[in-house]
Structure 1
Amino acid sequence: MTHPDYRVGTWKADPVHSEIAFSVRHLMLSNVRGRFTRYDVTINTGEDMSESSITTTIELASIDTGNQPRDEHLRSADYLDVQHHSVMSYRSTGIRRDGDGWVVDGELTLHGITRSVSLTSQVNGFAADPFGGRRAGFSATAKISRREFGIGAALPLDGGGVAVGDTVAISLEIEAVLQQ
């Protein structure tokens, strides 16, 4: 990485300036969006960006779609089953250049099942903050199949399609702080 403010070290996501969000098709008509409000993201940057690593733990009970009854249903055994599977975790296994961006290959563990998931990523920059610290910005996206993780039934609709789509789009906007 050739950025004047790039630093080797351990970075932690600032939850006030970061977001882990998702969207999924509902009734084959629209996308329902939500986010997780409690998580830990650690990024260890190496001498070269490809030598870096990422670990993430997300508290599934922190799901927030803006609708309390829906959130409670998503926490239930019908979907996330937070009573038995309280966290989702991601661990990178490699980082590689892809054009102007990066691909983070890794393992996502959700609902007791681990699958390979690649994140299409961008490094948004590195900078000093007004308080004497250092910050970095990262964006990433991925799509997963909820059924591959054993989540939720495919409830068919009379006219075709399903009530809740299988593909879940994930987006991460991470502003991380260099740890001292």
Structure 2
Amino acid sequence: MTPVPATVEIPGYLAGTWKADPVHSEIAFTVRHLMISKTRGRFTIYDVTLVTSEDLLGTSVAATIDLASIDTGNEIRDNHLRTADYLEIEKYPTMSYRSTGIRQTGDGWAVDGELTLHGVTRQVPLAVEVNGFGPDPWGGQRAGFSATAEINRRDFGIDISTPMEAGGVVVGDKVSISLEIQAALQK
């Protein structure tokens, strides 16, 4: 069976350059804490650009995230996360993502790309859901995407391990990443 072109499968799909709207987007993470719960956080300052092409498989994504903008809802924890124990923002002020390809999966899309964090670049695929394309009330066009990924912080040289008396560590190795992006078409 011949696959249907991707642009036909996404109603309202438009080729162009899109910028994430920070008021309606979120870059968030979750990590285990004390082996019994999860701590959530987000980054509040970032630049995300998507370039959709006539052939959806030619679409690209580039993002730069200001690591100082980390917000877990606790100023003491946020300040500790900015130190050399974790993000080391004095030396590595940003993290970046650059797509290297896009492919259709059984139930959605995958964006393959390179994440650079803490001076280390690794391949990190994003599982992407296209939420839609459509007009906004101001005469522009918007597109919405949800994406998830999981990384191991140790793969990026963030290897602090504070052991717990009963076993395990204070902060888990796996970090779940979730993105909710509403992007505006640039004129």
5 Å-filtered alignment, 1:152-167, equals 152-167=159-174
Runs of 5+ consecutive residues of structure 1 not aligned to the other structure? none
**1:125 pairs with 132, 151, 156, which one?**
132
- Given the two structures, how large is their TM-score scaled by the length of structure 2? 0.95
The answer to whether residue 183 in structure 2 is matched with residue 176 in structure 1 is yes
1:72-96 Cα deviation digits (max 9, x unpaired)? 0000111000000000000000000
Aligned amino acid, residue 157 of structure 1? M
Report whether the alignment pairs 1:10 with 2:51.
Answer: no
Residue type of the partner of 2:131?
A: N
Specify the SS of the correspondent of 2:73: coil
Matched, 1:62 2:65: no
How many residues in Structure 1 have an aligned counterpart in Structure 2? Answer: 180
Instruction: Report whether the alignment pairs 1:82 with 2:89.
Output: yes
Structure 2: runs of 5 or more not aligned: 1-6
> Kindly, what percent of the aligned residue pairs are identical?
66
Does residue 21 in structure 1 map to residue 21 in structure 2? no
Quote the Cα distance in structure 2 between the aligned partners of 1:4 and 1:88.
32
Normalised by the length of structure 1, the TM-score is: 0.98
Aligned pairs for 1:115-154 within 5 A? 115-154=122-161
Runs of 4+ in 1 over 4 A off after TM superposition: none
Deviation for aligned residue 1:99: 1.6
